[in-house]
């Protein structure tokens, strides 16, 4: 195993070199919700090396199965792990006579952060450069300067001469992302658009690699889900297809270690302090306890966060499928979620994948998740 070893505040760490390249490839591949085919190809290629079976369902979710030692012997349970591969993006809604594109959001954007971004417009022949802009500051009226613009107040400029030229390259319904790309930061941190939730699907696929040469008791379904950002849709269909007894979702969670973040309401979550184990009504108490036990036994640093309602993650959709799925949620601490500069700690990623893999190996066919 190759060692990749920047020194961090938290000690030297190693990330498998091919796993790190896979993470970067995920982050550099566009995956707007509903337009995930490209990234799912990458997932299938990775999972093909480690899973017993890889298939894509009609909705676009990629299911990767690692068979358990007890597979096919009577009534054994199934574990489903989900990370969503889609990212927030924009969609072309209107092309004006001068060739400027008007867009609508796919998922939740902060307009104040989007303005002035370099964009990639995913037209029929691949990516075209564009910028999201409005008038220069000198030309804004006072009223315009003091209000947050709406999507109808800003446009994407791809440099087209007119509508005809724009239409020769892009079509209504094409997607637009901020310019994709990964940057290392000091102390083992990394920055990229779309960390939400490519680090989650990476964690699930890295856990598949980690258990691939082990012998789990039960069948484990590692799923790259689609359309999370527009309503947890892929987790719903894939969980309905699998009908697991127990499941874990992996998604980013807000780090509260930046200025102005309210720890009294959001709890205390630090980048680099390990995966976040969630507690609350969306989560099965036995699954939560198992995760905490596994983390302690395996010496994996971890943090706790309470969520007093259904979480805004795949765990929420999966919990209410069939007779109910015993759910847990692993959160990867993330700063500046839904911005072009989402920051995570690589060490947290590695610890999240280790926790997930150890959880997989801890489950016995006779384990019951019925709360008591």
Q: Which is nearer to Zn ion, 193 or 216 (CB)?
A: 193
Q: Which is nearer to Zn ion, 138 or 309 (CB)?
A: 309
- Nearest-approach distance from CB 201 to Zn ion, in angstroms: 12
Distance CA 226, CA 130 (A): 26
Q: Are strands 175-178 and 183-184 parallel, antiparallel or unpaired?
A: unpaired
- Nearest-approach distance from CB 255 to Zn ion, in angstroms: 14
Cα–Cα distances in angstroms (integers) from residue 151 to residues 56, 99, 142, 336, 342, in the given order: 34, 17, 19, 21, 22
Q: Which is nearer to Zn ion, 161 or 309 (CB)?
A: 309
Q: Which helix (H) or strand (E) holds 7?
A: strand 7-8
- Nearest-approach distance from CB 229 to Zn ion, in angstroms: 5
Residue 186, class by beta-carbon neighbours within 10 Å (0-12 exposed, 13-18 middle, 19+ buried)? exposed
206 is an active site residue: no
Distance CA 224, CA 250 (A): 10
Chain centroid to CA 208: how far? 16
Q: Which helix (H) or strand (E) holds 92?
A: strand 89-95
- Nearest-approach distance from CB 316 to Zn ion, in angstroms: 13
Chain centroid to CA 133: how far? 27
Distance CA 253, CA 330 (A): 9
Q: Which is nearer to Zn ion, 228 or 358 (CB)?
A: 228
- Nearest-approach distance from CB 39 to Zn ion, in angstroms: 15
DSSP string covering 307-350: -SS--SSHHHHHHTSTT--EEEEEEEEEBSTTSTTEEEEHHHHH
- Active-site residue, selected from the candidate residues 28, 143, 165, 228: 228
Q: Would the CA dihedral through 22, 86, 344, 210 be positive or negative?
A: negative
- Nearest-approach distance from CB 338 to Zn ion, in angstroms: 6
Q: Which is nearer to Zn ion, 196 or 348 (CB)?
A: 196
- Nearest-approach distance from CB 195 to Zn ion, in angstroms: 9
Q: Which is nearer to Zn ion, 196 or 219 (CB)?
A: 196
- Residue number of the CB closest to Zn ion reads 196
Q: Which is nearer to Zn ion, 219 or 314 (CB)?
A: 314
Name the residues that contact Zn ion, by CB under 5 A. Answer: 196
Distance CA 202, CA 33 (A): 17
Cα–Cα distances in angstroms (integers) from residue 260 to residues 171, 201, 255, 257, 264, in the given order: 41, 29, 12, 9, 11
Q: Work out the number of other CB atoms within 10 angstroms of the CB of residue 205.
A: 28
Q: How many residues does the chain have?
A: 372
Residues with Cβ within 8 Å of 323's Cβ and at least 6 positions away in sequence, in order, are: none
Classify 360 as helix, strand or coil.
Answer: helix
Instruction: List residues with catalytic annotation.
Output: 228
């Amino acid at each position: 195993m190759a060692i990749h070893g920047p020194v961090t505040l938290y000690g030297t760490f190693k990330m498998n070199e091919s796993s790190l390249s896979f993470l970067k490839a995920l982050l550099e591949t566009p995956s707007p919700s509903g337009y995930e085919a490209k990234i799912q190809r990458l997932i299938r290629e990775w999972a093909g090396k480690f899973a017993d079976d890889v298939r894509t369902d009609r909705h676009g979710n990629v299911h990767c199965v690692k068979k358990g030692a007890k597979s096919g012997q009577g009534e054994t349970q199934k574990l489903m792990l989900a990370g969503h591969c889609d990212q927030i993006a924009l969609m072309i809604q209107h092309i004006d006579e001068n060739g400027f594109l008007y867009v609508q959001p796919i998922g939740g954007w902060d307009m104040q952060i989007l303005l002035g971004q370099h964009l990639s417009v995913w037209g029929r022949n691949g990516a075209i450069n564009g910028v999201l802009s409005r008038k220069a500051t000198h030309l804004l009226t006072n009223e315009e300067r003091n209000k947050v613009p709406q999507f109808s107040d800003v446009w994407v400029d791809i440099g087209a001469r007119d509508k005809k030229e724009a239409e020769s390259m892009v079509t209504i319904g094409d997607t637009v992302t901020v310019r994709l790309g990964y940057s290392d930061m000091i102390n083992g941190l990394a920055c990229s658009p779309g960390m939400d939730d490519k680090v989650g699907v990476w964690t699930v696929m890295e856990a598949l690699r980690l258990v691939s040469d082990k012998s789990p008791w039960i069948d484990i379904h590692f799923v790259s889900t689609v359309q999370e950002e527009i309503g947890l849709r892929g987790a719903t269909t894939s969980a309905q297809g699998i009908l697991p007894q127990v499941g874990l979702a992996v998604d980013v969670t807000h780090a509260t270690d930046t200025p102005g973040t309210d720890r009294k309401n959001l709890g205390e979550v630090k980048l680099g302090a390990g995966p976040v184990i969630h507690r609350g009504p969306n989560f099965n108490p036995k699954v939560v306890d198992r995760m905490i036990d596994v983390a302690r036994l395996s010496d994996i640093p971890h943090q706790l966060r309470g969520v007093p309602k259904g979480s805004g993650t795949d765990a929420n959709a999966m919990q209410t499928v069939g007779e109910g799925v015993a759910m847990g949620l692993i959160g990867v601490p993330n700063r500046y979620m839904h911005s072009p500069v989402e920051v995570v700690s690589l060490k947290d990623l590695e610890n999240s994948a280790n926790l997930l893999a150890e959880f997989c190996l801890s489950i016995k066919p006779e384990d019951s998740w019925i709360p008591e």
